[in-house]
Amino acid sequence: GDSVTQMEGPVTLSEEAFLTINCTYTATGYPSLFWYVQYPGEGLQLLLKATKADDKGSNKGFEATYRKETTSFHLEKGSVQVSDSAVYFCALSDGSSNTGKLIFGQGTTLQVKP
């Protein structure tokens, strides 16, 4: 079945460092890809998404490009802030079924130190 694999955390960075969180997926059909963020004590929020190959999603300085050839959707940010500390989830949605079901990776905790 479809699945998502993320790099294990926690990832600890200093403020203004470059961030990469790897995400790869396995899917049949043509999934849409998402990154969600969960701040401490809050629900998941959509950070960015891409719906087809070569699309780049971006928001709040974060970017991810849908790479069909490598089945990847790595999250990047050029300069992280302490406020970016959170758990990041990569997810896919099977566009062909229209069920709206999301399959999540295991989540990666990011800790940014001042």
Binding site for other proteins (CB under 8 A): 32, 36, 41-46, 49, 51, 89, 93, 95, 98-107
Q: Is the dihedral of CA 101, 51, 1, 29 positive or negative?
A: positive
Identify whether 31 is preceded by a cis peptide bond (ω within 30 of 0). Answer: no
What span, in angstroms and rounded, lies between the C-alpha atoms of 49 and 64? 8
Nearer to other proteins, 3 or 79 (CB): 3
Beta-carbon contacts of residue 19 (< 8 Å; ≥ 6 apart): 11, 13, 75, 76, 77, 78, 80, 84, 110
Q: How far is the CB of 42 from other proteins (least distance, A)?
A: 6
Q: How far is the CB of 24 from other proteins (least distance, A)?
A: 14
The partner residues of 57 in beta bridges, in order of sequence, read: 64
Identify whether 114 is preceded by a cis peptide bond (ω within 30 of 0). Answer: no
Nearer to other proteins, 17 or 51 (CB): 51
Q: How far is the CB of 37 from other proteins (least distance, A)?
A: 11
Q: How far is the CB of 102 from other proteins (least distance, A)?
A: 6
Nearer to other proteins, 40 or 114 (CB): 40
Nearer to other proteins, 5 or 17 (CB): 5
